[in-house]
Amino acid sequence: MAVPRLSAAACVLAVALAAPALATAGACGDLKGLKLKDVEITAATTVVPAPTWKSPQQRLYNGVVSAPFCRVEGVIEGGIGFELWLPAPDRWTGRFLGAGVGGDAGIYNYADLARGVDRGYASATTDSGHKITEPHWMLDPVKVENYAHRAEHLMTVTGKAITAAYYGKPTAYSYFIGCSGGGRQALKEMQSYPDDYDGIVAGAPGPYMMIQSARFMAIAVEEMRRPAAALTDADWDLVTTRAVADCDAKDGVADGVVEQPLACRFDLDALACGKLAGRCLTPAQIAMVRWIYAPLKDSAGKDLDSGLVHGVRTRPGPPSPLLRAMFADGAHKDVNWDAMTFDVTQDLALVRQTMPTLGADQTDLSGFKAAGGKFILYQGWMDPSIGARQSLDYYGRVRTKMGGQAADSFTRLFLAPGVLHCGGGAGPDLFGGSGRPAPVDDPDHDLLAAIMAWVEQDRAPERVVASKMVDEKVVRTRPLCAWPKVARYKGSGSTDEAANFTCVKA
């Protein structure tokens, strides 16, 4: 007789109920002795901010907490590190927050844990099954699989079980937030474990991670092969500045931000040396920009993606360490792999064969929808690390697969003009994305509050007000409209105030 499969939520509850009860509910130190299968709790410490407490310092994702909490540290299956921060029992709202980590992970998202605890959420994060100091971890297929999807799921199951043991009752609502790699983790949770979370906020998620990595590798190799055509940061600044100058006012407001980059077309030839005084681009450099903006093609000439929006630039600085690791360690299993041998068609096929679960492009979200889940995707239009077209394409394919009306019942896409990767840039970039809480914590300004209101009050977000802050002061607000609508100036009043804009069809 077949054994019925428990849903993830049912498994969590079963584990929590099977776990030994704490001697005293809310006793932080007692969690050290809590026994859960394949879980070791290495520390359970009461933290009392005075008046604030700073997380251990990392390169990214540092947090500051104002409210007392129980800090739980542990390891799952001997190799997946996690932290769970539990608000004092009288402050817990019954909610659970999972926090994703970007890039090649290996660290914790203390920023969103701090945000969650201060708002009364039990909050958890994971290093995705390896440490950032660990070289060549992609040689290990188990660690790749943990990074791809298992670590976040197991963190969720474990975190909910410990939360239930600590408070003496299960979580009422669960949410996940992440950007970049954390956004991809959010998509994987929704696609592979639809019962884990009631609401998911995914920023710049890179659903087509393997194609995106092939694009970046192709650009890096092409620039090495044709150094005379390579562009410096100053060259890219020229390109982006010209795009804004040509396209900015088309939305009715000249404010240094292009509201609708898809409609932006500017003449690259006008930047050619001989036509432009001072800094200019050579014919080889102009050809390189055109090639970068165009869709990536395989050896048969087939488009692999939709290219980049005009005015965006390539990722500044050195390539992500994840890029070489994916092809050298993960795909070729050779730490000495020569990147100059990279071939888009062959190496992309090899990555798909060796690490198929890295992709997060599943469009059938019927399981998540059936579970009552709600999903918000957000993306900076000027993101140089994960092109905006990638998020647009994925959202469009979800709508095609699910049907427009069905998709509208549980999904939203917000595109942020002038915003770079997960934040930064000329546009208003504070709207409650991962690691970047809004200056106003309510559903009209903050995506985490918005997803909560959608799940718990059936209040679907149609616009979210984004803020731009300088020296800790809000200097501009602008509505982000649920796609395919965009913000349009009403024609009167300050163009730095969101109230003077309305959402219209793009």
For residue 21, what pLDDT band results from cuts at 50, 70 and 90?
Answer: low
pLDDT in the model for residue 352: 96
pLDDT in the model for residue 317: 73
Q: Residue 111: pLDDT above 70?
A: yes
What pLDDT digit, counting tens, does each position of 50-107 carry? Answer: 999 999 999 899 999 999 999 999 999 999 999 999 999 999 999 999 999 998 999 9
What pLDDT digit, counting tens, does each position of 148-157 carry? Answer: 999 999 999 9
pLDDT in the model for residue 93: 98
Q: How many residues make up the chain in this entry?
A: 506
CA dihedral of 47, 52, 56, 60, whole degrees rounded to 10: 140
pLDDT above 90 as % of the chain = 89
Q: With contact defined as beta carbons under 8 Å apart, do 501 and 452 qualify? A: no
Residue 49, amino acid:
P
What pLDDT digit, counting tens, does each position of 117-145 carry? Answer: 999 999 999 999 999 999 999 999 999 99
pLDDT in the model for residue 25: 60
Q: Residue 341: pLDDT above 90?
A: yes
Going by C-alpha positions, the residue among 149, 141, 146 that lies closest to residue 192 is 149
What pLDDT digit, counting tens, does each position of 236-256 carry? Answer: 999 999 999 999 998 889 999
The residue-averaged pLDDT of 474-488 equals 97
Going by C-alpha positions, the residue among 20, 12, 363, 36 that lies closest to residue 153 is 12
pLDDT in the model for residue 22: 59
Q: Residue 2: pLDDT above 70?
A: no
Q: Residue 374: pLDDT above 80?
A: yes
* 3-class secondary-structure state, position 200: strand
The residue-averaged pLDDT of 423-443 equals 96
Q: With contact defined as beta carbons under 8 Å apart, do 280 and 272 qualify? A: yes
Q: Residue 305: pLDDT above 70?
A: yes
Rounded to whole angstroms, how far apart are CA atoms 489 and 417?
Answer: 14
CA dihedral of 314, 315, 318, 321, whole degrees rounded to 10: -120
pLDDT in the model for residue 319: 75
How buried is 457 (Cβ within 10 angstroms: 0-12 exposed, 13-18 middle, 19+ buried)? exposed
For 198, the token pair is 């009631």
